[in-house]
């Protein structure tokens, strides 16, 4: 079992960590692609995957925000 405040802290920490990791990976891969000898089609596929990852992360942010709001509004203190 976990108290409300502790749960909210953990969710927030996970969200920040994910955003940081995705940003680092995305920047690193884009920088590597600038000097890559990969075929342009392959590079474009990688870029599309990064864009999808970014879009998925934004979707997950919205879901996480709704979850946090639900927990905050809840009268329960233990989950």
Buried b (16+ CB within 10 A) or exposed e, 48-64: eebeeeeeebeeeeeee
> Confidence class of residue 79 from pLDDT cuts 50, 70 and 90?
confident
Average pLDDT value over all residues in the chain: 93
How many whole angstroms separate alpha carbon 42 and alpha carbon 70?
Answer: 42
> Confidence class of residue 53 from pLDDT cuts 50, 70 and 90?
very high
Residue pair 5/72 in contact by the 8 Å Cβ criterion: no
**Mean of pLDDT values over 38-62:** 94
Q: Is the pTM of this model over 0.85?
A: no
How many whole angstroms separate alpha carbon 6 and alpha carbon 71?
Answer: 11
How many whole angstroms separate alpha carbon 75 and alpha carbon 55?
Answer: 33
* Residue % of the chain over a pLDDT of 90: 85
């Amino acid at each position: 079992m976990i108290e409300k405040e502790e749960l909210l802290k953990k969710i927030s920490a996970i969200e920040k960590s994910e955003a940081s990791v995705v940003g680092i990976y995305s920047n690193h891969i884009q920088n590597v692609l600038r000097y890559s000898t990969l075929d342009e089609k392959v590079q474009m596929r990688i870029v599309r995957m990064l864009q999808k990852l970014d879009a998925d992360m934004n979707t997950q942010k919205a879901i996480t925000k709704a979850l946090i709001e639900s927990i905050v509004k809840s009268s329960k203190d233990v989950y």
